[in-house]
A = this chain, B = another copy of it.
Amino acid sequence: MNKVYVAGIGITTFGRLEFPLSEIGAYPGMMALKDAGLKQIDHLYVANMGGGRVNHQTGLASAIIDTLSLTPASAATVENGPASGASAIKAGFAAVASGLHDVVMVVGAERMREVNNLEATDFVATLPHPIAEYVYGVTLPSLAGMFTRLYMEKYGVTSRHLAMVAVKNQTNALLNPFAHIQQPITIEGILDSPEAMTNNPYVADPLRFFDCCPVSDGGACVILVNEEVARTVKRPMVRLAGVGQATDTHAVHEREEPTDLMAVRRAAATSFEMAGVEPKDVDVAELHDAFTILEIVESEEVGFFKKGEGHIALEKGETALKGKLPINPSGGLKGKGHPVGATGVAQAHEIVAQLRGEADKRQVKDAKVGFTCNFGGFGNNVVCLTFIRED
């Protein structure tokens, strides 16, 4: 299996973007080409979830490769719900690792501004089980709400812990010029003050407004290459060393223990094993905090902390930007934003920037091993990636 490196990265500002979906994808692709000093690619994978439904556009990869004037290079789109991004990176990894292609661009792009918030909830409700969940009104926020309540009862997580995730990630986002949410918040303001109920209403009890990620437009790109190309482009040698993926039952109630996220556990274990590192070796991680509870639980399931103790590490500040293991220095989905199909690629973008030492004000010192967890559906399809700085 050929070794696979990241030669170039690019990203758009996340938020409300005024340009079409194909350009939201093309722009970070152009940045990544410039970053790598490359002029042509062999193949493009695009990660996107909503083009057909939200933007009246299918065959998005063909549109983006044309926008970038990279024809006749081949192209296809990968859709895997909110895990589309890392799934596209996995497909790109295999293309380079096999030797089928030498240079594969992976772009994640989503333009959600066409939908209002209610429609956004129904759009992502294309993910729950259509017969066993959706018809009973189950959406992703409602699944997350029920999951959070169970987790609170079983492990002693409180609303205060959830708010700590929100405050930490929105604070990190203030240091990220590409982040959607540029709003300082405090525990006082969103939980304790008389205005908290107005500022931070319930979305799906016990989850409140600031426990949920925003609905964002955005795009990101990583260019994957083999070792020979990586050495030619002379960018820092960041290797995509571990790729792990696993699925779980579609309907959440069918899981033996619904507070266990087995797909996260399995995907992370596979990714670490392949990379030859352990959770304790990780210097910086991007986890999929679509809801605040998920950052806490994923930090346990991937092996950073013992099951049920993620909120304690959080409380101690271990996952803060200056902590022992900074989680979501980019701001995460909560602060940076969550253009669903793009998120997994944006996570990889942040980790590569960190391992290169190019993360500016949010730089984690001496980061050599980075990790991403991209969470699809309600945990029924998860992809974990491990990156290692080699030089």
Contacts and interface: CB of A to CB of B under 8 A. Distances in A.
Interface of A: 1-2, 20, 22, 43, 49-53, 56-63, 65-67, 70-81, 83-84, 87, 90-91, 93-95, 97-100, 126-127, 129-131, 134, 243, 245-251, 262-263, 266-267, 376-377, 380-381, 383
Contact of A72 (B20, B126, B246): B246
28 contacts: A20-B130, A43-B245, A52-B52, A52-B79, A53-B58, A56-B130, A58-B79, A58-B126, A65-B247, A66-B129, A66-B247, A66-B249, A66-B250, A67-B250, A70-B247, A71-B248, A72-B247, A72-B263, A75-B80, A76-B83, A76-B91, A76-B245, A78-B91, A79-B79, A91-B91, A94-B94, A94-B97, A94-B98
Contacts of A60: 79
Contact of A126 (B52, B66, B67, B381): B52
A62 B246 CA distance: 10
B97 A100 contact: yes
| Copies of this chain assembled into the complex | 2
Contacts of A77: 78-80
A101 to B, nearest CB: 8
Contacts of A127: 58-59, 62
Contacts of A74: 90, 245-247, 267, 381, 383
Nearest to A341: B58
A78 B22 CA distance: 17
A81 B67 CA distance: 17
Centre residue among A51, A87, A98 by max chain B CB count within 10 A: A98
A80 B52 contact: no
Given A91-B76, A243-B100, A59 B126 contact: yes
A99 B76 CA distance: 21
A368 to B, nearest CB: 24
Nearest to A245: B74
A131 to B, nearest CB: 7
Nearest to A243: B100
Nearest to A104: B94
Q: A53, A94, A129 — which one has the most chain B CB atoms within 10 A of its CB?
A: A94
Contacts of A70: 247
Contacts of A377: 59, 62
